[in-house]
Structure 1
Amino acid sequence: MTFPHMIPYAEPLYFVYLLLALFPLAVGLYFGKRMRWYEAFVTVLFLWISFAGDYWHQGVALIVYVFWQCLVVGLYFTLRSKKNQTSVFYLFVILALLPLGISKVSPFFRDGQPSLLGFLGISYLTFRSVQMIMEMRDGMIKEYHWLHYIRFLLFFPTISSGPIDRYRRFEKEANQTSTREAYLNFVEKGVHRLFLGLLYKFVLGYFFGSVLLPIVAKESILNGGISWALVGYMYVYSMYLFFDFAGYSLFAIATSNFMGYDVPINFNKPFVSPNIKEFWNRWHMSLSFWFRDYVYMRLMFALMKKKVFKSRIVASNVGYFTLFLLMGIWHGLTWYYIVYGIYHATWICLNDAWIRFKKRHKELPSNKFTHALAVVGTFHGVCFSFLLFSGFLNTLFFLK
């Protein structure tokens, strides 16, 4: 039987293969046995499906990448207690980031062609590798087993776009078997998330992305500038982005649940957020929390420890701009991703200033009406940021 190339969770046949492959694993878990050899087989099978046919070179790049990261993480674990610990730490973080950096930069030198090192999911695998090095330095990961690391790195349900799990949580579940009642609870949650994901991605995501979006995009281009059609595009694209990505995330989490893993959720009603900071605690949560824990908090600690800025507020604002610029650049080295990052950093800094102002002026009203107004305002501001993120303004104003 020949398996064609398929993008994860993108077409019905993928789910047929997925459910058939997971059935023996589910039976084993039901009877209290985690068949690790079969789990490894299913992982290889679905990685093969993802990189079959014309995408074979991405599969080769993945193999080289895994070898490189095992070498980098393993060497750091061995050398982490040597002299010049800080220099060694930064060196190995850079080495872990190197393949991702090459894949992001090389298209500029290849006339826009994808990097030979690039493959589906390289960003999320890199986040896992950097996380390992940082937690080894902190003493939170005290043992390193390269097979366990590969199992974590190549966990196929979340390999392409997350959610981004944490090694210690994943390792704990991988080395234990749930009770029958606990596994049935996993299955119940998995079935709910699977059907909710089908509604999000293949019904609502399709409606907003394939039906409405081309219409408002065409009208916006015909009008040639700021128009009501462009406003419509902004809201339609925002809905499409949410339902498509949230649907994918639900599929990844559901698949993990069927395999007996409780990976973190990625979305928690983000459009009811009353402010931008709350929004980022609800939107693409695993990515937000990863950047918060491994970039922002560590940068803040370094700035405050070295007393780079006298004011904690200034240090915090610098941290926000660094954080969101990195997030923007991670999405791509284009002006609209960078502006998107600056926009969110500015908004969060202003939000913090507003919170400090409210604390000094307790007479300001705070009730259900002001909360609803804040939710509505945040929603519109976020949708505008997604218009920037979409790159459609680049098409509309610069490539006419």
Structure 2
Amino acid sequence: MPNLSPYADPQYFVLLVVTLLPAMVGLYYGKRLRWYETLWTAAFLLLTFGGVKWHQGVMLVGYVVYQLALVLGYDRYRKHHNQTAVFISLVVLSALPLALVKLSPAVHLPKLALLGFLGISYLTFKTVQVIMELRDGTIKQVSPFLFLRFLLFFPTITSGPIDRYRRFQQDDVAVPARADYLTLVNQGIIRIFQGFVYKFIIGYVFGTLMLPHVAHHVLANRGAFFGTGLSWSLVAYMYVYSLYLFFDFAGYSLFAVGVSNLMGVKTPMNFNAPFKSQNIKDFWNRWHMSLSFWFRDFVFMRFTFFVMKHRLVKNRIRVSQLAYLVNFLIMGFWHGVTWYYIVYGLFHATAIIINDIWLRFKKRHGTQLPHNRWTQALAVCITFNVVCFSFLIFSGELNTLWFTH
């Protein structure tokens, strides 16, 4: 059985759209064909995780059954009990498969990696979110069938964006009016074509044509700058890699959102002109937004509330600084247990802390500081370069220069 790689080539989109036509016709006439969407999802999951990737398919099925049992079990339990220890245990158990997969290289147990499959991170984020919102009471009850549709929503299953259960439920239950659906289809088509330009044209230029060439020059000049490996070639690599990373990932996200729109689902956007950001906090409100907002709501805010509730740190500014460190350190570990991912997370935490110090300074001395289009342009330029340097760390190229021969 041949395997399909999501959004990898034009033939994939033809197959995707043609097979979605019955569901789209149903939505046009005001009816969601859930049975057809379920069969369609099962078929594409089989094409993606079957064949030579059958072991990933087996892990996916086992994972979904495991998470469904945790969510339904907690949904039933919390109606009669409210033990914090049980809630924490379930969050840990929900995140455990992902943690084991991420830790497998560091603890030299490659068999743990066999627990993983394409998209395990995004499914874990969804499940942990549902458990936490059940605890908060913002989710009153979980429907097993809807939870499975939410978890296995195919356009976003492998790399997001990360939707929220309640928002997804609204789209799933309420079929849009015909005019609204036609608007949504129009938006979806535009996003898919924009994704083609981003991923297959601009991303191809930066990632396939330019990046290997620049990387070759980086290695050729690894003895530059007194043996540190720093060179103008490395600076070029930093910018080329940063632009490739954006256009490739933003293109993929546009595909996922666009196909979601064809299915009558308003999956949230993942990027909003991030390189126009005027500071690092603004950047994280624009870059991989579904992930950064997930970490904000379910790591940063909850850690902040825990510290303040138990009076572990009295100074509110120190609480937020500590929360930033925890938030981005976890994000770094999520990317992988290697020094450059962890440093990447700590770098962004430090940048946001410095940015907050600067914003408080501006608030005290705002009238004494210039504020015009030139200072705004300078802010964008500084932020862009800080972000690009962080992506250089993230790329692992420094690891190649300094620790490999």
TM-score range, shorter chain: over 0.9
Report the counterpart of residue 265 of structure 1 in structure 2: 269
Report the counterpart of residue 384 of structure 1 in structure 2: 389
Q: How far, CA to CA, are the matches of 2:284 and 2:107 in structure 1?
A: 34
1:373 to 372, 378, 394: 378
1:132 and 2:130 aligned: yes
1:32 and 2:36 aligned: no
Question: Shift in Å at residue 114 of structure 1?
Answer: 6.8
Contact 2:163 2:267 in 1 (8 A): yes
5 Å-filtered alignment, 1:179-190, equals 179-190=177-188
1:244 to 235, 242, 248: 248
Contact 1:80 1:88 in 2 (8 A): no
Q: How far, CA to CA, are the matches of 1:234 and 1:108 in structure 2?
A: 27
Which whole-Å deviations, capped at 9, do the CAs of 1:106-138 have from their partners, x for residues lacking one? 234556567111000000000000000011011
Q: How far, CA to CA, are the matches of 1:83 and 1:52 in structure 2?
A: 41
Contact 1:324 1:342 in 2 (8 A): yes
5 Å-filtered alignment, 1:1-400, equals 4-83=2-81, 85-109=83-107, 112=110, 115-224=113-222, 225-362=229-366, 363-400=368-405
Change (3 A) 1:198 1:113: farther
Q: TM-score, normalised by structure 1?
A: 0.97
Question: Shift in Å at residue 10 of structure 1?
Answer: 1.1
Q: Report the 3-state secondary structure (helix = DSSP H, G, I; strand = E; otherwise coil) of the residue aligned with 1:361.
A: helix
Question: Shift in Å at residue 76 of structure 1?
Answer: 0.8
Q: How far, CA to CA, are the matches of 2:341 and 2:47 in structure 1?
A: 31
Q: Which amino acid aligns with 1:393?
A: L
Q: How far, CA to CA, are the matches of 1:66 and 1:143 in structure 2?
A: 18
Question: Shift in Å at residue 288 of structure 1?
Answer: 0.4
Q: How far, CA to CA, are the matches of 1:84 and 1:253 in structure 2?
A: 37
Q: Report the 3-state secondary structure (helix = DSSP H, G, I; strand = E; otherwise coil) of the residue aligned with 1:119.
A: coil
Q: How far, CA to CA, are the matches of 1:152 and 1:202 in structure 2?
A: 29
Q: How far, CA to CA, are the matches of 1:94 and 1:14 in structure 2?
A: 37
Question: Shift in Å at residue 397 of structure 1?
Answer: 1.5
Contact 2:106 2:337 in 1 (8 A): no
Contact 2:271 2:287 in 1 (8 A): yes
Q: How big is the alpha-carbon RMSD for the aligned residues of Structure 1 and Structure 2?
A: 1.2
Contact 2:211 2:240 in 1 (8 A): yes
Q: How far, CA to CA, are the matches of 1:106 and 1:393 in structure 2?
A: 23
Q: Which residues of structure 2 form unaligned runs of 5+?
A: 223-228
Q: How far, CA to CA, are the matches of 1:138 and 1:210 in structure 2?
A: 46
Which whole-Å deviations, capped at 9, do the CAs of 1:217-256 have from their partners, x for residues lacking one? 0000000111111100000000000000000000000000
Q: How far, CA to CA, are the matches of 1:106 and 1:342 in structure 2?
A: 22
Q: How far, CA to CA, are the matches of 1:184 and 1:126 in structure 2?
A: 33
Change (3 A) 1:31 1:37: same
Q: How far, CA to CA, are the matches of 1:321 and 1:6 in structure 2?
A: 39
Q: Which amino acid aligns with 1:198?
A: F
Q: Report the 3-state secondary structure (helix = DSSP H, G, I; strand = E; otherwise coil) of the residue aligned with 1:116.
A: helix
Q: Which amino acid aligns with 2:131?
A: I
Q: TM-score, normalised by structure 2?
A: 0.96
Question: Shift in Å at residue 186 of structure 1?
Answer: 0.7
Report the counterpart of residue 226 of structure 2 in structure 1: none
User: Which is further off, 173-182 or 243-252?
Assistant: 173-182
In the alignment of these two chains, the number of paired residues is 398
Which whole-Å deviations, capped at 9, do the CAs of 1:348-375 have from their partners, x for residues lacking one? 0000000111111121111111111000
User: Which is further off, 135-144 or 381-390?
Assistant: 135-144
After the TM superposition, list the runs of 4 or more consecutive aligned residues in structure 1 that deviate by more than 6 angstroms: none
Q: How far, CA to CA, are the matches of 1:25 and 1:83 in structure 2?
A: 41
Q: Report the 3-state secondary structure (helix = DSSP H, G, I; strand = E; otherwise coil) of the residue aligned with 1:343.
A: helix
Question: Shift in Å at residue 82 of structure 1?
Answer: 4.5
Q: Report the 3-state secondary structure (helix = DSSP H, G, I; strand = E; otherwise coil) of the residue aligned with 1:34.
A: coil
Question: Shift in Å at residue 47 of structure 1?
Answer: 0.9
Q: How far, CA to CA, are the matches of 2:381 and 2:108 in structure 1?
A: 44
Q: How far, CA to CA, are the matches of 1:257 and 1:51 in structure 2?
A: 24
Q: Which amino acid aligns with 1:255?
A: V
Which whole-Å deviations, capped at 9, do the CAs of 1:84-104 have from their partners, x for residues lacking one? 621111011011111111111
